[in-house]
Structure 1
Amino acid sequence: MAKQNLNLCSEPVLSQSACPKFCGKCPTTCYNCNITSPDVSSCNTVTCDKNTMCLVEMRKITKTGQVKYSLGCATKHFCDNGVKRELDSRSLTIDCCDKDLCNVPLATTLASTKQTTTATPTPASTATTTITQTTTETTVVTKALNVCHNISCVHGTCKQFGTVFYCVCQQEWTGRTCNSPNYCVSRPCQHGYCTNNLLSYKCICSTGYMGNHCDKVIDYCASNPCVHGHCTNNLTTFKCSCSYGYEGTRCEKICSRDLLVMIDLSLLNYLSTVHFLQNLVNKMQIGSNGVLMEVASFADSSVHNRWRLISYTSKSRLISEIRNQLYHSVKLPPPDIYAPVHSLNMQGTSRIGDRANVPDVALIITGPFRHTYYNVKYEAEKTNINIPITTIGVGNVNTQMLGSIAKNSAHALTVGRVDDLVDNAFVDKVLNLLCS
């Protein structure tokens, strides 16, 4: 497969499922113990985490010459930065490799005696005196231990990788000498990787999964973390979709806003407008800890009426006052859409509400208007209003203008008729924008 497809290990499906070991996607199995000789027959094995390597540490005590090996797992960073160091009176050598059971101590130190003969001329005569001098030199000989000679691969074949020897087990067997059943051969772990123990296997699950076979999605919603909303799972945690009028990671907070609603008098349809605002109010938490509202009307190039309703902290009284104010409003010609934007800037955001720690938001409901797109865009940017604005255009309106005023196209909504304002799904959409 690799010869036919040179990019085999770059393909996410094949490299992870069909050929994970070939592509280096599997965790490495290493010897794990402390020993005083290169014989690893008494060592256990351990499955290392991904992105780690097998480690051989050789510590030699300078005074006594004693050598001790530590075998196990190490991060690639440790291997790259800890090749050889001197610690106190011990000489420490670190070697790492990335094949299964490759961390086998291989080097030994031998002593040899060497005789040298030198001829030295004697100053007093022309005769030559031959002096034989014996010196002892210590030579480091790297000798590859024949691990295959000492370890029998019961159900496998002994292989050599460079100077490293290891057992390649038959599929049904595992362990350092291929003498333990491979309970993972059937790939029982659906979302994770499998490790063998003495009598069975154990699944190490990927993030977001649980169960003996990693076949169950972790239910982060089981504890009902969303106080006022609906909970959905993802791989690492939960996400709350809050009920209208609530916000926060767990929908535990009431959506508190100081809201200014500005209504275009040229499109005023008394019943539809009242019903829209009534539905809006009924789905919000009205009060000193929730939403407080003001209403203004505009037409031509000015804001005609502005009603301070923040003293109304009950839904019924607030709806009644809105109904009374709109009933006495007079329908006027198409407005200059810059009027409500200009009003927001001139009046100052502090006029929207009296609560210093509560966000101010504005909702502008308008119909067709006289201003050109470029003038509105220029004026809206010039005012530099920092509060979030949601715009609703009724009928044949310029959506680019609405988006320019809102400064966010997602907050620029349109409906075909005034009657469409009362649709429950549309009211919910508006509420989500006001509380987002």
Structure 2
Amino acid sequence: MILILRICLATASFSCVYCLTCLHCTDIESPRHCKHVMECPSGEVCHMHMTTTKYGEVLYDLGCTETSTCYNRSHGNQLCDDCCSTDLCNAAGCGHTGFPSGRGPICYSCSAQTTEGSCHTIDFCATNEMCMINEEREFGDRVYTSRCAVNAHCENQNTETAAIIGRSVSQHSRSVTETMCHQCCHRDLCNAHCVPITKADYCASTPCVNGRCDNSMTGYTCVCDQLYTGQNCSEVDYCASTPCVHGRCVNGITGYTCVCDPLYNGQICSDVDYCSTTPCVHGKCVNGKTGYTCVCDQLYTGQNCSELNCCASTACVHGRCVNDMTG
């Protein structure tokens, strides 16, 4: 009795970190429809054995077996005995068609498990679903629920981020549960455990030279001190004092440049640009403090250099030239 008890305890306490997970069913007609799994002991592989009943039915036993029994094994003309060494691979043993390629993930599916990693039932998710695991504290116990979940539900719950901590309450009801961890993932059998992801400290290396570093889930952001700019707040912000009165300030290596708004010019865009409308039709416009002056091209005259000056060539040899509308 003592020996039997010790054997049972040893079997119950078995755990393995890098062991295979294989389909585990007895007398099943289609291996890939088996919805039970087992974790093989160290050194064992996935196994499929074919049998026939006295009525001629072909059935399969799925599970684990020692690696040494898989070599130099003779097969009869009808019976098949197959081994393989990847998770759930015995769905495709003995020449069977395994799981289709265009499918959702295969996920653990159990509710109210009080021991993490003790689920041995699986479900086949749709292409718009993910694997989900939820850990709650209920009546002082940790309770685990694993299943398939629609992608949109997982996205709303911040999938594969830090754990959600808090009581499950609403305005109209009171709950005795407290959510400790809620995670979703895309890979086969990825929802065996609910391990909160620790937020990395991207600010540990003090990347912000002249500013404050703020952590995020994927990196850091620098909030620069006054007079500094750049991704790491290492560049002087010459534009911090907004020197351009009527324009946009552009930082340079040693200073700033002002890109003036329309009607303004000058180093800091403080001067009115009366010439911005190009008032001098045939001449050069010169800005002044209160207006503009046109310096006309040859043969033109008038305030805006718009009148033809035919007398500029002094066509009258012995007399005075007078301009008119035509010459």
Normalising to structure 2: TM-score of the pair? Answer: 0.30
Normalising to structure 1: TM-score of the pair? Answer: 0.24
Whichever structure has more helix as a proportion of its residues is: 1
